[in-house]
């Protein structure tokens, strides 16, 4: 049975049981605690936690997931995959344990001819929470055990296990409960007898049924938590691994050999000329390739581009591991343009958006492979230098700091560093490397939370959200009489707050726009009894709840009547900038192409920035054309309309959606001139594009591999910028005595004249330097068996000093000659050492000689065997430094 059919059977079965079929959310789900969706329940988390009411009593889905913690184990086991699909059925206060078990048993054991999976009941084992692990279940989860016995599982196929195995929670305060896992016995050829407790390779878990019963107040570990009390409603949250079920039903050994993955292995084998199954190491590499190609394809389809941070870094690592694995398989030519189409053709039937995004995906992947191939070359050179420095220091261990630098700065994989260092007889300080990586991850997570203004502890907000959603009235009203329904101080919900404190206030309804969708939050005042509260920020810490950060000039309490008033001028400026963002997006797609999809945006009154997918920088002509197109759209005064409609209808009309955003069944579509610009958007806008006034495109730049950014000013800010530029032009034309249309030519001529003067000055300096160096040739002194030209050239440094050394070395011809020069400025000496090929053959290495000489000038430096250079801070040590070069040469014989 093909993987896609297995998934469809799952959905069809649960739809027949009254479940709403919910499409997979993007892998870039808008959750500050996650890089990617890593479990099927993530899109339902707020419903399960009670943060917002679920739109259905029962739901089922096939959710795209990515997990990266075990990336180094990919290919080595049957269980570890980066991208996978999680089948799930969910109940929000509807059915519970008995029904969930009965549903699972029916689907797993029903004959395939009747729509089931057709597993032999005798091969099924299950686990439940065992006795003695939980105070509320002293005898274990007896209800689950009895239900499994009732549906037909033998008692000796039911195993009781600990909290670590059979209790589920999210790792943070929230819902939790015992779970029951379904395993399939693959047979004695896969391991020893004894059920899941004995061997989880032979007994493969395919489905976990979670029975959410408790509200956890503190979570310290998987088996260490505090229980606040029972949940208001009992929920069912299940997850079945589609790939695991597929490998069992397709009779293959691991998830890399199922129909949606194995053809990539076949293609990798063809490219490498090696046979899958002939060598374990080669097999692991091919499985890594197959897994990572599919995972990268799905991430890029959902909008991730390769980069050095967070999601982009994960994608970059996946792509580079593919290239590296293929290189170890003996393939040196580019591979991603060949392998990715194989995975595309396998996955596009289940996820048709792959075809829509394909041009952008393959463009970004090809560029990344080209970049990495250059990185491999540069990183190898850096590693060779680090190895030489390690050996020169008498060590056999490459420092963790150097390995981290290679990894972080040059993208050099740690496994490649380990392998290449080992080839040269060195180990790597992996512990320090791991520590530095962990510190970097923590900084990244902290930065991400800080930028979002959020904390992972949302308990106070969740409690307030359970009282109801905060209606947003700001599309039509800028001033609203309302009531304080909640106050949050230092992360805790309080009933009152004193004057002088900074708190977050929840209102019964609000006209204030919370920062979202790239639009900055509103500003304004909340008028209380006898004083005003300045609104500093507005956020949505959990869906449906709006909090207003304010500084109190008087005492405030829950229940107080207030008037919320948005700053109208600030709001109008925000509307201008947000509509201008849509204008730029439409202009880019029109002039650059459909691959110029949005990758992020930010707008506030007078200013906007817009990130989009593109490999190529804009030419000056294209920037001008885009700016003109935007201002033409503003001049044409397109009507800006918004319409509420079903999500599927909006997408069918071509509405653009942001990757990672969660959209409700009914969405708001904003249109500019009908199909010219259609976007799903919750932001505020002007009534027509003419109200923007003017757009001034400031510039365009790269912000990562395959991602570009444009910035612009709008309205009066754009006018002021243009006026300032006009003033500058007037001043320059006055100084240079030319007309404005002659200014460019005049400045270009001045620059050319300055460059010519610089060249003449450099030539004069070089002649002066060579003149000073001529006398040194007459003072060639023996140093052991070498001819040494050594001396000081004050005032000469940089390229000039290097050129002198090269010239003097060439004058020595085939002699075993060494040149050692010290130049630079007082207090900043520069040193250079150069060797002839004959000298190098006799053991004189420029880099080693320089390292021996820099101590007297308090300096450092390095280089290759033929030439090395350095700098210091103590000019008084120049004679001693040159003396050390002579001593080193004498010691060589």
Q: pLDDT, tens digit, for every residue of 133-162?
A: 998 899 999 999 999 999 999 999 999 999
Q: List all residues 6 or more positions away from 728 whose beta carbon is below 8 Å from its beta carbon.
A: none
pLDDT score at 106: 97
Identify the CA nearest to 585 among candidates 466, 484, 681, 463: 681
pLDDT score at 317: 86
Residues 577 and 714 sit within 8 Å (Cβ to Cβ) = yes
CA distance 128 to 143: 10
Identify the CA nearest to 834 among candidates 825, 822, 826: 822
pLDDT score at 324: 86
Instruction: Encode pLDDT of 830-840 as tens digits.
Output: 999 999 999 99
Strand pairing report for 174-185 and 203-221: antiparallel
pLDDT score at 448: 46
Q: List all residues 6 or more positions away from 474 whose beta carbon is below 8 Å from its beta carbon.
A: 510, 511, 512, 513, 522, 566, 571, 684
Identify the CA nearest to 174 among candidates 578, 541, 456: 456
Cα dihedral 106→107→113→115 (10° resolution): 120
The distance between the two most distant Cα atoms of the chain, rounded to a whole number of Å, is 104
Binding residues for Zn(2+), as ranges, are: 578, 582, 681, 685
Q: Is the pTM of this model over 0.75?
A: no
Which two structure tokens, joined as six digits, stand for 142?
């007896």
Which two structure tokens, joined as six digits, stand for 420?
């290449």
Instruction: Encode pLDDT of 765-814 as tens digits.
Output: 777 777 777 778 878 899 999 999 999 988 888 888 888 899 899 989 89
Residues 471 and 483 sit within 8 Å (Cβ to Cβ) = no
Which two structure tokens, joined as six digits, stand for 846?
């420029």
Crossing angle of the two packed helices 262-272 and 280-301, in degrees rounded to 10: 120
Residues 219 and 225 sit within 8 Å (Cβ to Cβ) = yes
Strand pairing report for 860-863 and 158-161: unpaired
| Residue carrying structure tokens 């002021």 | 720
Which two structure tokens, joined as six digits, stand for 153?
């599982």
Sign of CA dihedral 345, 346, 352, 357: negative
pLDDT score at 165: 94
Q: List all residues 6 or more positions away from 191 whose beta carbon is below 8 Å from its beta carbon.
A: 198, 199, 201, 202, 203
Strand pairing report for 158-161 and 124-129: parallel
Which two structure tokens, joined as six digits, stand for 66?
């990515």
Give Cα 776 to chain centroid, integer Å.
57
Residues 717 and 692 sit within 8 Å (Cβ to Cβ) = no
Residues 831 and 860 sit within 8 Å (Cβ to Cβ) = no
Identify the CA nearest to 643 among candidates 615, 608, 613, 679: 679
Residues of the chain with pLDDT under 50: 448-456
pLDDT score at 454: 42
Binding residues, as ranges, are: 578, 582, 681, 685
Which two structure tokens, joined as six digits, stand for 773?
């160096």
Residues 611 and 627 sit within 8 Å (Cβ to Cβ) = no
pLDDT score at 411: 65
């Amino acid at each position: 049975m093909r993987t896609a059919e297995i998934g469809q059977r799952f959905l069809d079965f649960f739809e027949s049981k009254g479940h709403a079929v919910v499409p997979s959310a993007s892998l870039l789900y808008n959750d500050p605690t996650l890089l990617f969706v890593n479990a099927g329940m993530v899109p339902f988390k707020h419903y399960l936690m009670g943060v917002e009411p679920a739109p259905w009593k029962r739901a089922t889905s096939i959710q795209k997931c990515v997990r990266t913690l075990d990336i180094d184990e990919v290919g080595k086991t049957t269980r570890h995959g980066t991208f996978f699909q999680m089948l799930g059925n969910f109940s929000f206060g509807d059915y519970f344990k008995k029904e969930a078990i009965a549903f699972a048993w029916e689907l797993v054991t029903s004959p395939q001819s009747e729509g089931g999976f057709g597993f032999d009941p005798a091969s099924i084992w299950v686990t439940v929470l065992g006795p003695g692990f939980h105070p509320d279940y002293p005898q274990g989860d007896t209800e689950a055990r009895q239900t499994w016995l009732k549906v037909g599982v033998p008692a000796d196929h039911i195993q009781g296990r600990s909290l670590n195995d059979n209790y589920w929670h999210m790792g943070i305060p929230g819902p939790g409960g015992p779970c029951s896992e379904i395993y399939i016995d693959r047979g004695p050829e896969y391991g020893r007898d004894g059920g899941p407790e004995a061997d989880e390779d032979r007994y493969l878990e395919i489905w976990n049924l979670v029975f959410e019963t408790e509200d956890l107040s503190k979570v310290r570990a998987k088996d260490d938590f505090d229980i606040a009390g029972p949940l208001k409603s009992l929920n069912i949250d299940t997850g079945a691994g589609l790939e695991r079920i597929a490998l069992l039903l397709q009779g293959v050994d691991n998830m890399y050999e199922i129909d949606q993955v194995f053809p990539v292995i076949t293609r990798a084998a063809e490219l490498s000329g090696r046979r899958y199954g002939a060598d374990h190491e080669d097999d692991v590499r091919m499985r890594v390739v197959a897994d990572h190609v599919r995972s990268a394809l799905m991430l890029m389809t959902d909008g991730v581009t390769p980069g050095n941070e967070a999601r982009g870094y994960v994608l970059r690592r996946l792509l580079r591991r593919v290239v590296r694995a293929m290189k170890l398989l003996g393939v040196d030519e580019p591979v991603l343009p060949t392998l990715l189409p194989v995975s595309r053709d396998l996955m596009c039937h289940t996820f048709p958006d792959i075809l829509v995004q394909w041009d952008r995906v393959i463009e970004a992947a090809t560029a990344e492979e080209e970049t990495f191939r250059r990185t491999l070359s540069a990183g190898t050179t850096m590693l060779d230098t680090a190895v030489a420095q390690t050996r020169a220091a008498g060590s056999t261990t490459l420092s963790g700091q150097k390995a981290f630098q290679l990894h972080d700065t040059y993208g050099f994989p740690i496994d490649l560093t380990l392998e290449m260092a080992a080839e040269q007889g060195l180990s790597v300080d992996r512990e320090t490397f791991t520590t530095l990586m962990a510190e970097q991850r923590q900084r990244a997570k902290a930065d991400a939370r800080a930028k979002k203004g959020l904390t992972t502890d949302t308990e106070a907000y969740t409690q307030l959200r359970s009282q109801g959603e905060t209606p947003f009235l700001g599309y039509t009203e800028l001033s609203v009489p309302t009531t304080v329904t909640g106050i949050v101080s230092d992360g805790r919900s309080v009933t009152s707050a004193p004057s002088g404190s900074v708190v977050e206030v929840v209102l019964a309804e609000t006209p204030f726009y919370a920062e979202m969708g790239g639009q900055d939050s509103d500003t304004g005042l909340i008028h209380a009894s006898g004083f005003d509260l300045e609104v500093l920020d507005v956020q949505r810490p959990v869906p449906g709840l709006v909090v207003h950060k304010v500084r109190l000039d008087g005492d405030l309490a829950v229940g107080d009547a207030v008037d919320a008033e948005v700053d109208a001028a600030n709001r109008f400026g925000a509307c201008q900038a947000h509509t201008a963002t849509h204008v730029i997006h439409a202009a880019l797609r029109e002039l650059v192409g459909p691959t110029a999809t949005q990758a992020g945006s930010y707008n506030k009154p007078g200013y906007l920035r817009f990130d989009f997918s593109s490999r190529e920088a804009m030419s000056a002509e294209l920037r001008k054309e885009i700016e003109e197109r935007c201002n033409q759209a503003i001049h044409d005064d397109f009507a800006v309309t918004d319409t509420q409609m079903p999500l599927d209808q909006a997408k069918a009309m071509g509405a653009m959606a942001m990757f990672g955003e969660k959209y409700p069944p009914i969405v708001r579509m904003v249109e500019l001139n009908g199909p010219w610009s259609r976007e799903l958007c919750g932001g505020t806008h002007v009534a027509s594009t003419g109200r923007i006034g003017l757009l001034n495109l400031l510039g365009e730049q790269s912000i990562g591999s395959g991602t570009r950014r444009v910035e612009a000013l709008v309205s009066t800010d754009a006018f002021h910028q243009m006026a300032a530029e006009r003033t500058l032009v007037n001043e320059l034309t006055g100084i240079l005595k030319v007309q404005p249309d002659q200014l460019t030519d005049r400045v270009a001529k001045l620059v050319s004249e300055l460059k010519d003067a610089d060249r003449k000055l450099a030539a004069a300096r070089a002649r002066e330097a060579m003149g000073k160096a001529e006398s040194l040739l007459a003072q060639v002194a023996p140093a052991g068996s070498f001819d040494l030209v050594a001396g000081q050239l004050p005032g000469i440094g940089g390229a000039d000093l290097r050129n002198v050394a090269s010239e003097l070395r060439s004058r020595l011809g085939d002699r075993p000659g060494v040149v050692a020069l010290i130049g630079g400025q007082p207090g900043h000496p520069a040193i250079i050492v150069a060797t002839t090929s004959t000298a190098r053959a006799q053991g004189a290495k420029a880099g080693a000689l320089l390292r021996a000489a820099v101590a007297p000038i308090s300096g450092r430096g390095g280089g290759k065997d033929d030439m090395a250079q350095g700098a210091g801070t103590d000019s008084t040590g120049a004679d001693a430094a040159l003396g050390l070069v002579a001593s080193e040469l004498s010691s060589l014989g």
